[in-house]
Amino acid sequence: MWQRRRAKSTAWLAGAVALALTFAIACGSDTEPVPTPEPTATPVVSLPSLDLDAGASPSAPLTNGPAVSEGPVSKAELAAVFSLSDLVDRVKPTVASIAVESVRRGLFFDFSDEGAGTGIVVRPDGYIVTNTHVIQSANEIKVTLPSGISYDARVVGRDRVTDLSVLKIDDQDLPFATFGNSDGLRVGDWVVAAGNALALRGGPTVTLGIVSGKGRSIVTEIGELYDLIQTDAAINQGNSGGPLVNLEGEVVGINTVIVREAQGLGFAISSSTAKPIIDSLIEHGRVVRPLIGVAGQDVTPAIASQLNLHVTDGAIITRISPDGPAYKAGLRAGDVIVSIDGISTPDMATFLRLLWSYKVGDMVQMEYISNNGTRVASVELVERPPET
């Protein structure tokens, strides 16, 4: 009896050690510092790449934890659990390299600048999405697919509010990306980033990380961006406009920006925000977006304490147009918008996504806090002026 218990205990211990070794291989701590990005770049920080043989799809094991049998774990078993090669093979054909050339005017001479970025093929007839800041000053845009074929591209439409633009190349039957539901992401989920990092030859660079946060809002050189996914998957110079995908190979974000002073702080435009923008740019060449004439930011505990507010979340109005619908309806700077048509708006990202779901001309009931009193105003939405 004692020998059987000892054998069972030994087998259990071996399995535990194997599982620990497996976890150590998958979650090593070596990281690389983030290089300073150029204007057309968007770095983040990576987890180590996994040097394992190709194997089966990792979606279930990575989500629920690897199933490790008793006894030593072979390299082939580890590869079957952790390899992302099948996923990468599905994603890579949809990732385009973008090269741009612009001209700077000098006092006596003109100077040619070159930059690099990334795009995602979103339709089989040659529509490609990228970041607006990648192509905003370009006189010439070249798109190269992983097949090695290069194309001249034209701009179909651009949206500075979300930093998204759509390009068009002349080809048909192209592999194209599938968009997933970013609302279903959870902090800690695995994600993979792909892009034209450092404009290296040989196709897209692929890195692995996790979702570090959701619904982020940040202020950048191109303006304030909302509803961003925070990730630590390495994104380097040239990655702007590339896909952030889940373990099903679905695009859940479009890589956009990093924080230069920090490591592991990269941000991607969520697919739930990006998809309707992309569709509108393709169909209309612009985004038809309602407007109420305010600018704002998230209410934080610090802001609530400083302004002696009785609420700790909402969208506080920092600027308001005296000619806008909100001002005419009675709202003022310092008021906190807490809901639209009874739907809570705990932050600016939620507020804008909800606002942009309406059509121009719609009348909405806006609940807001003014002088710590709750009020409701009827606001008629007008059309946001087209971007120039």
Positions annotated as catalytic residues are 133, 163, 240
- Residue 194 token pair: 């792909």
CA distance 85 to 330: 57
Three-state DSSP at 81 gives: helix
CA distance 198 to 237: 5
Determine the Cα angle at 59 with ends 58 and 65, to 5°: 80
Distances (CA, A) of 40 to 133, 136, 185, 229: 6, 9, 27, 19
CA distance 319 to 285: 29
Three-state DSSP at 90 gives: helix
Determine the Cα angle at 70 with ends 65 and 74, to 5°: 75
Q: Which neighbouring-strand residues pair with 266?
A: 231, 258
Distances (CA, A) of 275 to 162, 217, 324, 362, 365: 11, 18, 28, 22, 26
Q: Give how far the C-alpha of residue 235 lies from the chain's centroid of Cα atoms, to the nearest Å.
A: 11
- Residue 100 token pair: 């741009």
CA distance 326 to 350: 18
Q: Are 220 and 257 in contact (CB under 8 A)?
A: yes
Distances (CA, A) of 222 to 118, 159, 235, 252, 352: 18, 11, 19, 22, 18
Q: Are 131 and 158 in contact (CB under 8 A)?
A: no
Of all helices (H) and strands (E), which one includes residue 352? Answer: helix 348-355
The backbone torsions φ and ψ at residue 191, rounded to the nearest 5 degrees and listed phi first, read -140, 155
Distances (CA, A) of 250 to 43, 122, 253: 21, 12, 9
